[in-house]
Amino acid sequence: MDSELSPEHLMHKLDDLVRSATEPQNAVLVDQSRLIKWVGPSFALFAVPLATVCMWLSHHTEQLAAQRILILQRRLRLFRRP
């Protein structure tokens, strides 16, 4: 591959054409804090098990609610007039 057509060379050539202004909006903000470094992996670590637990809980609460309705229906049959 020709060195003038390499992506790195073209990027540097483009960067040389356009200089960045010394305005605060052009500043590159670099945050090296530990919190930022740990948010992504901790989210990935806890999101899947938490979603699984939420699905399990919703399934079982739905079943418990259905069982509770059946129990109440049976109790109401006792109070029905023949």
By the 8 A CB rule, do 9 and 15 touch?
no
Q: Show the domain range for 54.
A: 33-82
In a domain? residue 72:
yes
Q: In this structure, what are the phi and psi dihedrals at residue 76, rounded to the nearest 5 degrees?
A: -70, -25
Question: Is the Cβ–Cβ distance between 33 and 27 less than 8 Å?
Answer: no
Q: Encode pLDDT of 3-12 as tens digits.
A: 778 888 888 8
**Cα-flanking dihedrals φ and ψ of residue 65, to 5°?**
-65, -40
- What was the pLDDT predicted at 51? 93
pTM over 0.85: no
Question: 7 lies in a domain?
Answer: no
C-alpha span between 18 and 13 (Å, rounded)? 9
Number of domains the chain is built from: 1
Has residue 64 been placed in a domain?
Answer: yes
| Residue 63 placed within a domain | yes
CA angle 40, 42, 45 (to 5 degrees): 110
User: pLDDT (tens digit, 9 = 90+) per residue, 31-82?
Assistant: 667 777 788 889 989 999 999 999 999 998 988 888 988 888 888 887 776 6
Which pLDDT does position 30 carry in this prediction? Answer: 67
Residue 23, domain member (yes or no): no
Is residue 29 pLDDT above 70, yes or no? no
